[in-house]
Structure 1
Amino acid sequence: MALDAGSEQEKLDYTLNNKRRVIRLVTQWAAVHGYQLQEEDASVAFLQEFFMAASDDAKAIPAIRDQLTELGRIVKHNTEGARVSQKKHKVLLRQFSMGNEKLHKRQPIKGNDEILFKVYCCDHTYTTIRVPVATSVTEVTGAVADKLGSAEDLLLVNLSSAGEKLIFKPNDVSVFSTLSPNGRLFACRRDQLDSLTPLPEQEGPSTGSLASFELISSKDVAYHMTAYDWELFHCVHELELLYHTFGRQNVKKTTVNLDLFLRRFNEIQFWVISEVCLCSQLSKRVQLLKKFIKIAAHCKEYRNLNAFFAVIMGLSNPAVSRLSQTWEKLPSKFKKFYSEFENLMDPSRNHRAYRLTVAKLEPPIIPFMPLLIKDMTFTHEGNRTFIDSLVNFEKMRMIANTVKTMRHCRSQPFSPDSPLASKTHPEVRTYVRQLNVIDNQRTLTQLSHELEPRRS
């Protein structure tokens, strides 16, 4: 029925329903963006203008007044939040996750928060710079050049503990959070690239933490790992998945919370490998394998599938899996558990075993994040964003489904019905949040061969 063919009441109802839908859409849009909306002046200005327009409409159409209360609360919250955000930025400690700040409850890191960070030179001296998290590489190298009193064109390099060099592009943003567990940032001229060498601190520990680790129960470790992983996961904004997929340098947005959560996966994986490869006594190594399999089982019980995968992938690493004398002495019960866990990680048929398992779980769930990233990337790269200058909504729906998976996982708070929940265990909490690892695969392989030389 055409609008102009209806009665006056029908026209009023039509107008009312449309205005209600628009207000509901804007309310949901603001809720999805959350704190990120406060970083956009244009978005806050739009909300204020929209609220004034809706208030004017409510004078003529009183039926929409019931929606204004919630809309007004959202506008006030974001306006005040933007004002506070402009006045005061959190100053984060260097390296984001090194030191005592790990022991405080994690809060989302915003793009305009500032960071104190070390940038090293070829001779291993360093300068400390203070910049916003979302700073571009060009701005970082400019800040370093100013500190060094150098006008030279500097490159910003991610130097791994193995000596691998990744040169950042000038438009890359928020590069601090993309470093590996033992990676460091170096600034140098192009002709100095070959002379870059890792810092001694990048080598990681020379002894394992077995003396303290073996005194902690597996369940305690899994619980406190899950509590910390949940904090990290809860800080990841849904939009960071989109920025990561479409290229944060293209939208000039930070994905720092997502980066740190992904780095945690690598940290746990290398922790497992490091502890095993630094354990010289065969019987103790067998105990370590048992303990890590128990920790994986408890992580699965707590629905922390990200840590579960990280622990099992650590045990599957060649430096650990080749230790045949150690695995031979592992009790058959634990071999069976490990085999079942490996089956759950089977990547065949698009990780069908894992997906079926997750589908049966109730939230809260900490999902296997690298797989969510893979799903987003596959959807993005396998489908055009525009077709004949029109938005490809089928692609957008597939991307939205992956984002909804993440939202579903976090739809309930992490508060497991466990006696551990009421215990603080400060020593366990400190241990799991400050894992000291070797992340150089060559070093780990060498240590493995020293433990059990290849049989001739």
Structure 2
Amino acid sequence: MFNRVEETEVGSSKQPHETSLQYIKRILKIDMSWSAWDFDSTVLAEQLTMIDKELFLKISSEELSILVYQRNAKNAPNISAILAFSHRTSSLIASEVLKDESEKTRARLLARFINVADKCYRISNFQSCRAVIGGLQSPAIYRLRRTWAYVRKKHASKYLIFEFLCRLYRDPRLPSYQKTFYIMSQNSPHLPYIGDII
């Protein structure tokens, strides 16, 4: 899985124009090809939560006030970063599902990502849960009618979880969402969805 990009460079010495850091980066350059099958859904949920936590803790009150007054996240780099990461997560999920053309494989991937969203929900990570659901609800994935039919048939429990999460995250003003958020916020730690704060 890990292959050196250029075998000849590994044994080469430091070039005169290179700094030590550039030299180390060059000799340690590796080609990584990961897929969703390489990770357990629990590991994916935990990793997403750790990244979201780091991004969320960098948001300052000044950035929130900038957002309120300017109504734009352009001058709030940490808010922009967490929104960009959420968008990248959704896009990555959609592209990962669309890589394979087999309906059964796509259905298994959908079930795995539903499981990731459920685990994010259970560990009170509203941010990643919403990002994963956003990827599963993207138009390219939503239109896979036969794949979703296969999920309903073969992974019925996962599909029911997906429907529950979609109803829950439909609108933050709904009483069911507010009640769930209130219950989750009583048990720390929890990560809110940044879109609700905005």
Aligned partners of 2:195 and 2:165: how far apart in 1? 17
Over residues 315-372 of structure 1, what are the superposed CA-to-partner deviations in whole Å (9 max), with x where a residue is unaligned? 1112111101101111211111111111111227x24322211101122211111121
Say which of 117, 122, 127 aligns to 1:306.
127
For residues 10-49 of structure 1, the aligned pairs below 5 Å read none
Aligned partners of 2:175 and 2:96: how far apart in 1? 31
- Tell me the residue number matched to 2:107: 286
Over residues 396-436 of structure 1, what are the superposed CA-to-partner deviations in whole Å (9 max), with x where a residue is unaligned? xxxxxxxxxxxxxxxxxxxxxxxxxxxxxxxxxxxxxxxxx
2:141 counterpart letter in structure 1 = V
- Tell me the residue number matched to 1:265: 86
Tell me if structure 1 keeps the 8 A contact 2:67–2:76: yes
- Larger radius of gyration between Structure 1 and Structure 2: 1
Over residues 142-184 of structure 1, what are the superposed CA-to-partner deviations in whole Å (9 max), with x where a residue is unaligned? xxxxxxxxxxxxxxxxxxxxxxxxxxxxxxxxxxxxxxxxxxx
Tell me if structure 1 keeps the 8 A contact 2:117–2:129: yes
Tell me if structure 2 keeps the 8 A contact 1:236–1:257: yes
For residues 166-177 of structure 1, the aligned pairs below 5 Å read none
Q: Secondary structure at the match of 1:329?
A: helix
Aligned partners of 2:104 and 2:137: how far apart in 1? 19
Q: Is 2:188 the counterpart of 1:363?
A: yes
How big is the shift at 1:213?
2.1
Q: Secondary structure at the match of 2:35?
A: helix
> TM-score of the superposition, structure 1-length normalised?
0.34
Tell me if structure 1 keeps the 8 A contact 2:55–2:82: yes
Considering only aligned residues, what root-mean-square deviation do their CA atoms show, in Å?
2.1
Tell me if structure 2 keeps the 8 A contact 1:268–1:311: yes
For residues 34-433 of structure 1, the aligned pairs below 5 Å read 212-247=35-70, 254-330=75-151, 331-347=155-171, 350-361=173-184, 362-373=187-198
- Tell me the residue number matched to 2:6: none
Tell me if structure 1 keeps the 8 A contact 2:120–2:128: yes
Aligned partners of 1:221 and 1:303: how far apart in 2? 14
Aligned partners of 1:218 and 1:245: how far apart in 2? 36
Tell me if structure 2 keeps the 8 A contact 1:273–1:315: yes
Tell me if structure 1 keeps the 8 A contact 2:127–2:193: yes
Structure richer in helix, relative to its length: 2
1:347 counterpart letter in structure 2 = D
Change (3 A) 1:259 1:286: same
Change (3 A) 1:248 1:334: closer
Aligned partners of 1:226 and 1:325: how far apart in 2? 32
Q: Secondary structure at the match of 1:346?
A: coil
Which is bigger in relative contact order (C-alpha 8 A, separation at least 6)? 2
Change (3 A) 1:308 1:248: closer
Change (3 A) 1:314 1:351: farther
How big is the shift at 1:301?
1.5
Tell me if structure 2 keeps the 8 A contact 1:248–1:255: no
Aligned partners of 1:337 and 1:367: how far apart in 2? 20
Structure richer in strand, relative to its length: 1
How big is the shift at 1:248?
8.0
> TM-score of the superposition, structure 2-length normalised?
0.75
1:360 counterpart letter in structure 2 = I
